Amino acid sequence: MTDPADLSLPEAAAMLRGGTLTSRALTQAVLDRIAARNPRLHAFTHIAADALTQAERADTLLAAGDPGPLCGLPIAVKDLIDVAGQPATSGSRVLAGRIANTDAPAVARLRAQGAVLIGKVATYEFAMVGPDLTLPDPPARNPWNPAHITGGSSSGSAAAVAGGLVRLAIGTDTGGSIRSPAAYSGCVGLKPTYDRVSRSGAFPLSPSFDHIGPLAATVEEAALALDAMTEGKWRPASARIGQPITGLKIAYARDWFADDPQATPALIRAMDEAASTISLLGAQITLVTLPNYAPHEAAASVILHAEALEEHRTLIRDHASDYGRPTLQCLAFGAAIDPEDLAKAREAQTRLTAEMLQAMDGYDLILTATTLTPALPFSAFDGEKAVWTPMRTIAFNLTGQPALSLPAGFENGLPLGLQLIARHGDEDLLCAAGHAFERATDHSVQRPNP
């Protein structure tokens, strides 16, 4: 018999509605899974004391008529996002002991539908840089090789999903913090269009770039989760799941990674194979030259660091000694940015967003890499100097476009990820293409040894 913890969200939902599975039994199976695997992965930092009570409440809702597609399903939440009654420390000694009084709006929408908020998962300190071994919670470890990072800052979200502890976790993405951990850990990460999901109730890093979104075992599960958290009138991300992608026009931004000496040969091969697979599915793949990535990264870095410092000024004044060294170093960059620098960066943001959308003229999606290498080992972070992992993600925080990362292959037993990007509001096209690729390959069904 299949362990309930291994059921996909649609499979579990069907059984819950059909009466062949209870949320209490499913939640207990997930709790057992966490107890068995979390000591190795350090994904969870807190387990909800009322998890089974939440599940029993969901069973009551199911018996009365399901209020939502995620009713009764266990979901983990990054410890940057408020869940009422659960710790909300943002992975830092600065906020040690803080308990959230209310749910973040995105979490409230999940709770209202009967989802079981099973616990909090690890984050890099205040969603900045890491891993930092000096912090109260040990950093999450990569399920494919615990000697390697998961990436950040949604590190615990990725480890929990890729390690099979849960099927779905909620994370945040300011420069790639959903997508890079998904790529490094071999799961799906979906950054929605800017402002599609309320950012309220999540500790801000850079309000101009912050996004809340799902990390999941499959594209369909990520799409369902995004729909559940979405506010306002947006086309459902799951609307085209399972539909053919014949005729979809995709711009293949190969030069964004293949011309970079940091890109590994295995990554380049995996991306070319992915483009070929998507073409065989009926999409039209065209090599394109996008606007240079470097100006996007430069402008975004200025805005991000300036805004981050503003968010932390009071806390630094009162609690500087409680911050981890890497976080303080990151915040120090903001102090070197003057108002003129910030104004120029915001002007560049407007210009670069227009240029990116113009470059997409005639295309539905962009295809490129998520990260240029597999996950680095923890040993790379032993020194005093900051280590930057090469990614192709922050450009789409700058432009606010939705972006999806999903598994594309492996290098030395570690996952590689591809990235699809759409115009604002086109998450349905994004998820349709991602789901089609996922179904045509076996990358997403491979799982690490427990």
Choose, from 92, 177, 185, 198, the residue flagged as catalytic: 177
Distances (CA, A) of 129 to 147, 319, 442: 18, 18, 32
d(CA 75, CA 236): 20
Q: Is 8 marked active-site?
A: no
The residue among 118, 120, 218 whose CA lies nearest residue 167 is: 218
**Secondary structure of residue 346 in the 3-state scheme:** helix
d(CA 112, CA 126): 27
Tokens of 429: 């096209």
Prior bond of 131 cis (ω within 30°): yes
Choose, from 78, 120, 185, 444, the residue flagged as catalytic: 78
Choose, from 23, 90, 92, 153, the residue flagged as catalytic: 153
Which residues fall within 8 angstroms of residue 268, CB to CB, at 6 or more apart? 257, 258
Alpha-carbon dihedral angle through residues 76, 177, 134, 315, given to the nearest 10 degrees: -90
Q: Is 177 marked active-site?
A: yes
Question: What spatial distance separates the first Cα and last Cα of the chain, rounded to whole Å?
Answer: 18
Cβ-contact 176, 202 below 8 angstroms: no
Q: Is 78 marked active-site?
A: yes
Residues designated catalytic:
78, 153, 177
